[in-house]
Structure 1
Amino acid sequence: MLSIIFSSLPGIFTILGIYIRPPRRFVMFCLTAAIALGANTVALARVPTIVDSGHEKKPVDPLPRSAAALPVEGVLPTLGGAVAWLNSPPLTAQNLRGKVVLVDFWTYSCINSLRSLPYLKAWAQKYKAQGLVVIGVQAPEFTFEHNVSNVKKATHDLGITYPVAIDNNDAIWRALGNEYWPALYVVDAQGRIRYHYFGEGDYVQSEKVIQQLLIDAGHADAAKIAPGLADIPAQGVQMAADIADIQSPETYIGYARADNFVSRGGETQDQPRTYVAPSQLALNDWGLAGTWKVGAEHAVLAAASGRIIFRFHARDLHLVLGPGNDGKPVRFRVSIDDAAPGEAHGVDVSADGSGTVTEQRLYQLVRQTGHIQDHTFSIEFLDPGVEAYVFTFG
């Protein structure tokens, strides 16, 4: 029985849509146990080390008659320890008393966080006058996400106007005992945590909780609350994932967390080396071509030109990239099955496959329409210095 359960893990984790930190603790525990129990290793090969899926499909509970029906899960910590606040002076648990507070842990290059943003922004706007305060806690994963200027620019570009605490030292993260991106906590007017949700999805139920806590706090009239925001139109990287067609896991380039790397000789750590692209790729295999220096967190192209190839199955393919230390833009060219992407190009790529890395962020390189099947993706960088971090899918 346990073997059967572990063999079904790809589907389970795809539905959950949770980005786990530390990234592989729970998944690797499951895999180890599964192998020991004789689980289907072919199925296990498709288990994502970190999930990048979307909404969880489940029935929506009715709106409780009062907040008394919601358990008390703890209290909002002080919110101290952030290195900076954007869009607001520093907020504290004390000066938020009387408000209903939504705390969202996110990081700006995380695809799961990005796909949750349309709902957070809509709630912040819709319920601000009724007493809701949305706080985004930017908890970085990569080194470049510790840069306050980078976060400030990303917050502006993403249209986030609610308060953002930059939690570079994980002070708020630890105070709440959090381990996930995104992670949502809803706090009542007395400063008590009444609801949480880890991962993408459950937006209808989350909004119902917000509404009920506002009503119980005396901020809103139940008869006047507008219908929920179950379906919010989103474009680009913020569009909900096509869960049914995701068969490729989030895949890191740096050697500390790299999986399924198949260029001959494996990754050489912290030293430049010339790699040769593999001639054949199975699903979710990937490789490098050209001279790359692979570090624990990312790989740097040491000399133009170089490529990364990946055999994938998903509607969308994203890659977190950045220019080199000199900040010079890096030109690239994308192909799918050795041809220009055409209508399958992502928002950061032209139909002919051309694009430019100008800043450290997530780039959407492929967005397909119609039937989804296995394809071989290739990105060739025409200039040296690019930093490549992680593939994600949608």
Structure 2
Amino acid sequence: MKRKAFLFCLTLIAQVAAISTDASTHEPVVAASPDRVTPAIKLPVLGQLPSLAGATQWLNTEALDRARLRGKVVLVNFWTYSCINSLRQIPYVRAWADKYRKDGLVVIGVHAPEFDFEHDVDNVRRASQGLRVDYPVAIDNDHHIWDAFDNQYWPALYFIDAQGRIRHVKFGEGDYAASERVIQQLLTESGAHDVGTGLVAVDAHGPEAAADWSDLRSPENYVGYARLTGFASPAGIVTDRAHHYPAPSALQLNQWSLMGDWTMGRQAAVSQGTGGRIRYRFHARDLHLVMAPSTNGQPVRFRVTIDGKPPGAAHGVDVDSQGRGVVDTARMYQLIRQTGPVVDRQFDIEFLDPGIRTFAFTFG
């Protein structure tokens, strides 16, 4: 089965009601219930809950199986912690888990890794804590649960009723109001009383904030040769061995290039000395780069510019206004968040220490 990331071009714009939030706590608040109950949605039976036995480990719980979940409404969320689409959905999944736990909802995050470093359970545990994910997480390092569901996307939501039947599926971001209505209906069907009919709202920050879909013209792209597009180095691609990449004369939108000494592998490009650089011409409010420290675990310092200047107010949460940052853990780093008009920009990142591993660019 082909496993692929859920690309932004397939992602739907979120449809979320305009509801007040408590900005002081950044926690979800529940809107007032409408005067009438929302009519029931016709939800067909799409299959039975597959086995969860393929999990190599569980976080935040003892191992769960179909017997322990019998009589519960279950929401299964396939995610991986360096995926921007997963990160932007997490605030809603987290809010639903909090709101409907008392009504009998069990949320299970199935962490199915995309990159090698996401197989490290300590990395997943650290990321889950940082994201305030306190519901059960199944570590699906071998993609056994992924295959049992015949899943193809990050993120994906599977809604299971109290009889263990899959009643609804949602791939990608968005449609949060519709997804919550499904949860409410399945809980009501299960016999839960006084299930709230209001919708959660989230006050998401940093990478969790919704993308600026109206001005997003740059797709997710990979730095390893297995899935890259738009590579515009004058030297072309040299795989699996060290090579010196000269600077390009110019880049068109969504073209990029390595500069300096790099080894391009299937998943990642690894810098072979100090001063390695990447240049990317993009059109988006946000620019992120999935990175990991050097193979010996030493942090790697970097500096970013936008159109040849420090980012200033356009810096992301992982850099300062001068564009300075440090890669100290394997994860996605938000490098640019523009505050002004979104136009075509040239992004540069220079690594001041050797050994950085760069995996994928994402935008928002």
Q: 2:8 aligns with which of 29, 40, 51?
A: 51
1:291 partnered with 2:277: no
**Residues 153 and 308 (structure 1 numbering): CA distance in 2 closer, same or farther, change over 3 Å?**
same
* SS, match of residue 180 in structure 1: coil
Q: 2:301 aligns with which of 316, 331, 334?
A: 331
| Counterpart contact for 2:55–2:145, Cα < 8 Å | yes
Report how far residue 216 of structure 1 moved: 1.2
Report how far residue 149 of structure 1 moved: 1.1
| Counterpart contact for 2:245–2:262, Cα < 8 Å | yes
Paired with 2:239 and 2:298, the residues of 1 have a C-alpha distance of 25
* SS, match of residue 170 in structure 2: strand
1:186 partnered with 2:143: no
Paired with 1:306 and 1:354, the residues of 2 have a C-alpha distance of 15
Q: 1:341 aligns with which of 297, 306, 311?
A: 311
Aligned counterparts, 1:20-59, within 5 A: 22-23=3-4, 50-51=7-8, 55-56=12-13
Instruction: Among all aligned residue pairs of Structure 1 and Structure 2, give the percentage whose two residues are the same amino acid.
Output: 53
| Counterpart contact for 2:257–2:278, Cα < 8 Å | yes
| Counterpart contact for 2:15–2:176, Cα < 8 Å | no
* 1:182-235 residue CA offsets vs partner (Å, 9 max, x unmatched): 00000000000011100000100000010111111112325xx15112x31100
* SS, match of residue 125 in structure 2: helix
| Counterpart contact for 2:15–2:174, Cα < 8 Å | no
More helix by share: 1
* SS, match of residue 332 in structure 1: strand
Report how far residue 55 of structure 1 moved: 4.6
Relative to structure 2, which stretch is displaced further, 169-178 or 310-319?
Answer: 169-178
1:36 is aligned to none
**Residues 205 and 131 (structure 1 numbering): CA distance in 2 closer, same or farther, change over 3 Å?**
same
1:91 partnered with 2:64: yes
| Counterpart contact for 1:317–1:364, Cα < 8 Å | yes
2:325 is aligned to 355
**Residues 52 and 122 (structure 1 numbering): CA distance in 2 closer, same or farther, change over 3 Å?**
farther
* 1:108-162 residue CA offsets vs partner (Å, 9 max, x unmatched): 0000000000000000000001100000000000000111111111111111000
1:307 partnered with 2:307: no
Paired with 1:319 and 1:145, the residues of 2 have a C-alpha distance of 15
**Residues 159 and 52 (structure 1 numbering): CA distance in 2 closer, same or farther, change over 3 Å?**
farther
1:157 partnered with 2:114: no
Q: 1:80 aligns with which of 43, 48, 53?
A: 53
Report how far residue 22 of structure 1 moved: 3.1
The one-letter code of the counterpart of 1:240 is A
* SS, match of residue 151 in structure 2: coil
* 1:11-31 residue CA offsets vs partner (Å, 9 max, x unmatched): xxxxxxxxx96338xxxxxxx
Paired with 1:175 and 1:54, the residues of 2 have a C-alpha distance of 23
1:370 partnered with 2:340: yes
2:149 is aligned to 176
Paired with 1:378 and 1:331, the residues of 2 have a C-alpha distance of 14
Report how far residue 94 of structure 1 moved: 1.6
* 1:333-365 residue CA offsets vs partner (Å, 9 max, x unmatched): 000000000000000000011000001000000
2:199 is aligned to 228
The one-letter code of the counterpart of 1:342 is G
1:44 is aligned to none
* 1:30-83 residue CA offsets vs partner (Å, 9 max, x unmatched): xxxxxxxxxxxxxxxxxxx932686536699x976457x310000101211111
Paired with 2:37 and 2:174, the residues of 1 have a C-alpha distance of 17
The one-letter code of the counterpart of 2:342 is I
The one-letter code of the counterpart of 1:228 is L
Structure 1, gaps ≥5 residues long: 1-19, 25-48
1:119 partnered with 2:92: yes
The one-letter code of the counterpart of 1:267 is I
1:16 is aligned to none
1:215 is aligned to 188
Paired with 2:46 and 2:321, the residues of 1 have a C-alpha distance of 49
* SS, match of residue 85 in structure 1: strand
The one-letter code of the counterpart of 2:286 is D
| Counterpart contact for 1:66–1:216, Cα < 8 Å | no
